[in-house]
Amino acid sequence: MKELEDSKSYVKPSELQVGDSVYVKRDDSKKRGDTLYHPDSKVIIEKKGSMVQTRDGDGVEVTRNSSFFKSAPDRSHNNQENDREYTETPAVNPEAEQVAAPERRYFQRERYRPMRLKECV
């Protein structure tokens, strides 16, 4: 039975590992303005097949299927990249060629001012 389900084209193996930071999907009883995932990240403490168990900073554990999780970006890695972006300035070549704007793909009609506004000028 499991082999049949795993052989389907839409089935993908989970890339989540123990120790990864993840976001947990909200349940169906969410409000209209809420995001799809909870904004606070959790850390994976155990993984058994497609079952994933996570814990947040307060010690609250959540166990769900791996389809309920999305990997969260590493905060420390992003901060290092942002620091590097601000310290390194790209060299500007004043003799660089000006890049022409791409041609319009679709026809654009000519626009005129309304007749009632011609008297105001």
Average pLDDT of the chain to the nearest whole number: 79
Single out the residue of 91, 54, 50, 44 nearest to residue 67, CA to CA. 50
Mean pLDDT of 9-29: 84
Domains of the chain in start order, with CATH, are 17-74 (2.30.30.140)
Rounded Cα gap, residues 121 and 118, in angstroms: 6
What's the predicted TM-score (pTM) here? 0.54
pLDDT value at residue 43: 93
Residue 77 reports pLDDT greater than 80: no
